[in-house]
Structure 1
Amino acid sequence: MRPPLLLRSGAMNTDDWTAFGAIVTAVGVVVAAVMAYWTTRKAAAAAADSADTAREVAQIERDRWHRELTPKLTFSLIRVGSNRLRLTTTLAGPVGLDHLDTITITVRDEAGRDHSARPHYDEAMRTELPSVIWGPARFSPGVDGVAAPGRQSIIRSLERGNFVHRQMDNSEPPSWFQDPGDWVDGYWEAKLRLHAVCEVEGHRPWIVVAEVANPGVEYISDGSDEMEIPEQYR
């Protein structure tokens, strides 16, 4: 018999090929897994970016809609007595905003002047200072739930097209003002500065600021404390 042929050095037998195939298959599985992982990561990142974009667009639309629904409040101030005024607040619009649940109106101090405590103020002056309204008028304390010093009034439930009256008084000078006439003269033509926070369920609050024409008062410097009603309001 002829002796069997010996495999040449370096040749692979069946087991070697089987092992090699298994390695190649395993590598392929790993590569496929890595590719699938990165594909999933990219898809997830793209989905997240898409979701972020959608949220941003939705927020932009909500902000735009909120701006378009900003309440159109109109204010008018008339004098009805020597120390009495009447503020009328009307919800004039916009279309789409049918009513407001609450309107919190605050009288702002005059602009451009610092009324913080001065070094020479004593304790009594510093205590009184927060209650001073540096402007022509204040809400009447004790009327319509207004608390002293009359800086703020709350209107509840106002429908579009309707209006509400609020009673106001001439603002009062601080106790260290020796001549009330100086106080009145200082605010003769000053506008009433208002800050209104408008709220309705389901929406973020809106803030409306306004400056309302002052009907004016004239102080009679004859030793009395009377205010003369301007001729057009007599």
Structure 2
Amino acid sequence: MGIADTSIAAVAALFSGGAAVAAWRASREANATAANVAQIERDRWHSELTPRLRMMITSRHPVMSKLVVHFEGPAAVLGPLSVPLRIRDDRNRSRDPELADGVTAAMRERVIWGPCRFRLGTDGADDVGRQVASFTVEADDKHLLALDLSAAPHWYEGEAGERRWREEYEHARVRLWAGCEAVGHKPWWLSFEVPRNGDWVENGPLPAA
């Protein structure tokens, strides 16, 4: 083979190699695009299947108050739901500075900063009344949970402190996070702000942290 033939063969090999690389890149990009489209479709389907929950508080009375959770659907697709509930504070205090009054972040964390807590010792509530044990609801089920007024922290001293605490949350809604877990689906996390006047509220998507 002469020099010219060798050069032509080298150029041909170069172009052949370049074409192979280009084909590999095109295939990889096509696969990535297909994966992205599939993920978008899964996310859309997951969003469309978001469970429809409603909540209502039956009474402002500190003993008779109940939180009612109603699962409306879509039951035909989801089946029964497992629902963990957690009461949210009125705002995030995790980054608040520690002041000279001796109140620490750990102490603030054990306070329900809102009007109500879950009743201690009932429905699997934890020791501060922030969350209850997960429960299962079927289509059109209503599940009732006992509520009490939240406890004023000890640094709200005396009758004046108790009164100030009650006044701060007199007209506040009960804020909650609701998890919705169904077999074969990623969990959903929904937010609620429930008034204490007997009105029903529907779920909304949980804001990004």
Please classify the TM superposition score into its range, dividing by the shorter chain length.
Answer: 0.7 to 0.9
Matches within 5 A, 1:51-66: 51-66=31-46
Q: Amino acid of the residue matched to residue 191 of structure 2? A: V
TM-score, normalised by the number of residues in structure 2: 0.80
Structure whose alpha-carbon radius of gyration is higher: 1
CA distance in 2, matches of 1:66, 1:135: 32
Q: Percent identity?
A: 33
Distance 1:84 1:48, change over 3 A: same
**Residue 182 (structure 2) aligned to one of 200, 203, 209:** 200
In the TM superposition, residue 163 of structure 1 has moved relative to its aligned partner by: 2.1
| SS in structure 1 at match of 2:140 | coil
Return the alpha-carbon distance in structure 2 between the equivalents of residues 149 and 82 of structure 1. 16
Say if 2:132 is the partner of 1:146: no
Please tell me the residue identity of whatever aligns with 1:145.
G
Q: CA deviation at 1:77?
A: 0.7
Distance in 1 (CA, whole Å) between partners of 2:64 and 2:95 is 25
Count, aligned residues = 194
C-alpha offsets along residues 29-87 of structure 1, whole Å, 9 cap, x if unaligned? 32222221111111111111111110111111111111111222111111385434211
| Structure with bigger RCO (C-alpha 8 Å, 6+ apart) | 2
| 2:144 matched residue in structure 1 | 165
Match of 2:108 in 1: 129
| 2:25 matched residue in structure 1 | 45
2:93–2:108: 8 Å Cα contact kept in structure 1?
no
Residue 155 of structure 1 aligns with which residue? 134
Q: CA deviation at 1:149?
A: 0.1
CA distance in 1, matches of 2:98, 2:63: 30
- In the TM superposition, 1:1-234 aligns within 5 A as 21-79=1-59, 82-94=62-74, 96-100=77-81, 102-111=82-91, 116=96, 118-122=98-102, 128-177=107-156, 178-179=158-159, 180-215=162-197
The structure-2 alpha-carbon separation of the partners of 1:115 and 1:136, relative to structure 1 and needing over 3 Å to count, comes to: farther
Structure 1 residue runs of 5 or longer lacking an equivalent are: 1-20, 217-234
User: Do the aligned partners of 1:91 and 1:161 also contact (CA within 8 Å) in 2?
Assistant: yes
Whether contact under 8 Å (1:71, 1:208) holds in the other structure is: no
How far does residue 210 in structure 1 lie from its aligned partner after superposition?
Answer: 0.8
Q: Which residue number in structure 1 is paired with residue 207 of structure 2?
A: none
State the secondary structure of the residue aligned to 2:101. coil
Check conservation: 1:136, 1:214, Cα contact below 8 A.
Answer: no
CA distance in 2, matches of 1:120, 1:127: 15
Q: Give secondary structure in 2 for the equivalent of 1:196.
A: strand
**Structure 2 regions of 5+ residues with no counterpart?**
199-209
In 1, Cα distance between equivalents of 2:91 and 2:196: 15
